[in-house]
Amino acid sequence: MSAITLRELTKVYPNGVRALDALDLEIADGEFFALLGPSGCGKTTLLRTIAGLELASAGSVSIGDRAVTNLPPGQRDVAMVFQDYALFPHMSVRDNIAYPLRIKKVGRAARHDKAANTADELGLSALLDRRPGQLSGGQQQRVALARAMACHPQVFLLDEPLSNLDARLRLEARTFLKRLQRELGVTTVFVTHDQAEALALADRIAVMEGGRIRQVGTPTEVFRRPANTFVAGFIGSTPMNLVPARVDGDALAVAGVRLPVPEDVRGRLTDGEQVVYGVRPEYLDYSPDPVPDALTGQVVVVENLGSFSLVSLDVPAGDGATTSVQVVVPEGREPDPGDTGWAVPRPGRSLVYRDGELV
Ligand code: ATP
């Protein structure tokens, strides 16, 4: 069993930066788990603290039923793959893969056998005698994974595993990584700041901010029901529209119109209170003609993104000000800047936030 349990995990660096702030997290055995968040939120620190490359200032780390908080990296039974792969340039692929076995004092013949088997599993057999400098970025990544796999660790820790690859290789490597993790079933934690990558790969995602976790959930949960406005603004290729609103009887007064209060929050709002209305650009349908229960405004920008366009409408925000609402519009149905348009929320896709938290 190799679940990972973090309790009140805190890391304060000697310069006083609190990179992890009493963080609680449970990662299930065999899970493919992503740490996601803006630069500086503590993702790498969290990964390195699980690995033992940083020691916790307070709190605990357990792997399976072992408390590993104060153990050195070599005794934690984890393997970490670094962003730059950290391969030894002067060693062959075979020796790179076999290196952790050498450290563990496995005999030469046995470790070369093991390296050959692992290389075979990752499609690297033909490259065993090459040096890292003679490999493509994708091949180097596979060698780094093979080196991590050779010891059969209980946990894989991957720091931005795909960030060194170009866009095309990245997609290929992403599919490869997902398949490999499925086949091995090893608990895997990976750091990324690319939310599309996290959504595509992970069983569950933790979204971090300032050394804390703001939400843990499946990709669908964090995408459809962000727990707070921070996650709502962070997840998705375009952030969620978040528009100030006021509860007005059985309606929400939003951007100069009245929209029905979403069914799942009825009875939980107080008449007259200020809230924020949230809806993803993907969950709004554009209409060039007036439609009831829709936001309306003037089209200001139409961005062509291939098979769809992102249309920005300026809608009234009270006191003569306007706020921007974005709508995803399929190819061929784009309006022109200057048009008046209506953005119709799809049923069941609107959210309400109070004090930044999902109601
Ligand atoms: P990025 O996405 O930019 O890699 P991150 O989410 O991985 O960021 P960390 O690298 O964990 O964030 O850093 C968290 C905070 O701790 C940042 O404020 C960073 O400046 C600080 N920090 C990281 N390493 C050290 C260190 N060795 N000494 C002091 N402060 C550090």
Amino acid at residue number 302: V
CB of 44 closer than 6 angstroms to any ligand 1 atom: yes
> What's the confidence (pLDDT) of residue 176?
81
Give exposure, 205-244, as e/b (b: 16+ Cβ within 10 Å): bbbbbebbbbbbbebeebbbbbbbbbbbebbbeebbbbbe
Cα 303 to middle of ligand 1, angstroms: 35
What's the pLDDT tens digit per position in 38-62? 999 999 999 999 999 999 999 999 9
CA-nearest residue, atom 18 of ligand 1: 40
Cα 40 to middle of ligand 1, angstroms: 5
Say what percent of the chain tops pLDDT 70.
Answer: 100
> What's the confidence (pLDDT) of residue 1?
66
- Structure-token match 């000000």, residue found: 321
Crossing angle (nearest 10°) for helices 137-149 and 167-184: 20
Closest atom, ligand 1, to C-alpha of 208: 6
> Given a cut of 90, is residue 110 above it in pLDDT?
no
> Given a cut of 90, is residue 15 above it in pLDDT?
yes
Reported as type and span, the H/E element at residue 295 is strand 295-304
- The complex's ipTM? 0.98
Q: What is the DSSP letter of 261?
A: P
CA-nearest residue, atom 27 of ligand 1: 13
Q: How far apart, in whole angstroms, are the C-alpha atoms of residue 170 and residue 87?
A: 19
CB of 41 closer than 6 angstroms to any ligand 1 atom: yes
What's the pLDDT tens digit per position in 75-103? 999 988 887 788 899 999 999 999 988 88
Cα 211 to middle of ligand 1, angstroms: 10
Let me know: does 275 contact 242? Beta carbons within 8 Å. Answer: no
φ, ψ for residue 319, nearest 5 deg: 55, 30
- Predicted TM-score (pTM) of the model is 0.89
Domains of the chain, start order: 4-234 (3.40.50.300), 241-358 (2.40.50.140)
Let me know: does 189 contact 160? Beta carbons within 8 Å. Answer: no
Q: How far apart, in whole angstroms, are the C-alpha atoms of residue 259 and residue 292?
A: 9
CB of 210 closer than 6 angstroms to any ligand 1 atom: no
> What's the confidence (pLDDT) of residue 70?
94
What's the pLDDT tens digit per position in 264-307? 898 899 999 999 999 999 999 999 999 999 999 999 999 998 88
CB of 38 closer than 6 angstroms to any ligand 1 atom: no
Cα 19 to middle of ligand 1, angstroms: 7
Q: How far apart, in whole angstroms, are the C-alpha atoms of residue 328 and residue 266?
A: 27
Mean pLDDT of 104-127: 86
Cα 54 to middle of ligand 1, angstroms: 12
**How sure is the predictor about 330, in pLDDT bands with cuts at 50, 70 and 90?**
very high
Cα 207 to middle of ligand 1, angstroms: 16
